[in-house]
Amino acid sequence: MKTKTYISLFTVIILTLCNCRVGFTQSKVNLSVDHLVHNFGNLTAADEAVADFILLNNGKNNIYLLRADFPDDCKVRYSTTDIPVGGQAIVRIKYNPEKRGPFKKDIKVWFGESNTPVNLTVTGDYKTIDLSANPNCPGFDPAGGDRAAEKDLLVNVFDHDTRQPIASARVKWHPRLGLNNTNTTDENGQTRRVVPIGNYIIDADAKGYETGRVQIYIGGGMGIVNIYLKHVAIDFPPAVQDQIDEKNKEVIRQDVTVIRDELPDSVVNNYVSRPGELNANTYKPNNIVFLVDVSSSMVTADRLPLLKISMKTLLTNLRGIDRVTLITYASKVNVALQPISADEDNKKMIGKKIDSLKAYGSTQGGKAIREAYKLAEENFVSGGNNQIILATDGSFNLDKTDEALFEVINQEKEKKIYLTVFGFGKDKTAIAKMKKMAETGGGSFIYITDNDHSSEILVEEVKMRSRK
């Protein structure tokens, strides 16, 4: 089959998966690719076969993408042709089927200072095709109105045992700032919504059922999500009054899905996370400084994308009396968002700042921590919760010694500014350091993995710290 050569410039976005190492002949080149083969599985006319491959520059010199060789029935786009040190580029591939059946397509990506291309492969099996579909490869700029930036998503809710659809089930997307993020299924157990491409947690619940949850990346070939709900156990928990803190009228760490329909609305509303409804009589004002590690080591799907979900879920629950600051650090320290009220007028803007976070470069954690404490002090809320939430995998360089940094953290704790560490990764030395930082700072160490991540975990932490 004849091949084409294609090259283009686009704005960089970040879609993250696990890195895998690719070797090349020239020692100057140190390039890793998140995956080499993308299997679409079974496809129909309703599916768009678009795959993204992330190239990460781990070397000491910039890498320049030169061209891509690919078959006639494929299209290729680059997010950028210049990959800086610690930076990344996305190779987006779209397959336009000409006939039904299995396919396997190889795309060779060439770059400077190497005689060996990266070979990327897309495979799958087209069951039905639509020859009238747009053959162009989607671009990278959501602001340009590119439909590829959104996905028409169908959610099916089924009974776990009978596999029958559940009507009137509530389906909630985490998080969708500025939008009504709850739908209700129809008589076929279905609900449909157009959502921006990205990482999501989707909950579904119905009367008599436990809550079901899936965590997925919505994009490319993803168009249908199935959630299976289990019936509530017959042996209900003890009497409702035994599960409520009578002083504050809150459920005490119970599975709300079991008893939700038995509780007064006033009690449920106080427990279930809802935008702007942290009861002012129960929770003190918050001065929260997000300190986010955006170095290249945070690029994988189980780190920065999960963090964004938790940050935005917390944001939906903050009030106008709460203040938010956002500092990022990698090769440089950047105050991405000066202290600002978390009122409804600002939440959409703050959410966009969180969405824009992307990983690159090395890490200067010591300088960043000092900057976070500086801003926390300048905006100190007397009688409130003054808290720094550090999100990192712990792989950072200190501008001074460990001892000096821990002394700063301890001094700030004495001023009632506490440090909570949101930890990622598996490096035992880094984990031990993160734990020590949290202990010294008087906060919590919360270790996150892809399996046990909860979108509500930051909400729970802030509630605990701000409780009167």
Q: What is the arrangement of strands in the sheet containing 333-341, beginning at the earlier edge strand?
A: 333-341, 323-329, 286-293, 385-392, 418-423, 442-447
Q: What is the mean pLDDT of residues 219-242?
A: 58
Give the per-residue pLDDT at 313: 82
DSSP state of 303: S
Q: What sign results for the dihedral spanned by CA atoms 389, 456, 354, 378?
A: negative
- The whole-chain average pLDDT of the chain stands at 75
pLDDT 10s digits, 136-184: 787 665 443 444 456 778 888 999 888 889 999 999 876 544 445 788 9
pTM of this structure: 0.49
Dist. CA 43–CA 124, nearest whole Å? 7
Q: Of how many residues is the chain composed?
A: 468
Give the per-residue pLDDT at 199: 64
CA distances, 131 to each of 98, 135, 148, 282 (Å)? 7, 9, 18, 60
Q: Is the pLDDT of residue 200 over 60?
A: yes
What is the band of 219 on the pLDDT scale with cuts at 50, 70, 90? low
Q: Is the pLDDT of residue 256 over 50?
A: no
Helix axes 304-317, 344-355, angle to 10 degrees: 180
Numbers of helices and strands, H then E, in the chain: 8, 26
Query: Which of 386, 440, 444 is closest to 417 using CA atoms?
Result: 386
CA distances, 110 to each of 21, 23, 81, 113, 181 (Å)? 17, 14, 11, 10, 43
Q: What is the DSSP string of 201-227?
A: EEEEE-TTB--EEEEEEE-TT--EEEE
Query: What is the CA 15 to chain-centroid distance, rounded?
Result: 10
Higher pLDDT, 89 or 174: 89
* Long-range CB contact pairs, 143-147, < 8 A, 24+: none
CA distances, 122 to each of 10, 105, 106, 189, 311 (Å)? 22, 5, 7, 33, 34
CA distances, 90 to each of 33, 93, 109, 241, 391 (Å)? 10, 10, 11, 55, 25
Dist. CA 55–CA 35, nearest whole Å? 9
Dist. CA 334–CA 292, nearest whole Å? 10
DSSP helix, strand, coil percent of the chain (3-state; round to 5): 20, 35, 40
Q: Answer yes or no: are the C-beta atoms of 157 and 230 closer than 8 Å.
A: no
Dist. CA 25–CA 115, nearest whole Å? 7
* Structural domains of the chain, ranges and CATH numbers in brackets: 3-140 (2.60.40.10), 147-271 (2.60.40.1120), 286-466 (3.40.50.410)
Q: Answer yes or no: are the C-beta atoms of 55 and 90 closer than 8 Å.
A: yes
pLDDT 10s digits, 410-427: 999 999 999 999 888 777
Q: What is the DSSP string of 253-284?
A: S--HHHHGGGS-HHHHHHHS--TT---TTTB-
Dist. CA 427–CA 63, nearest whole Å? 28
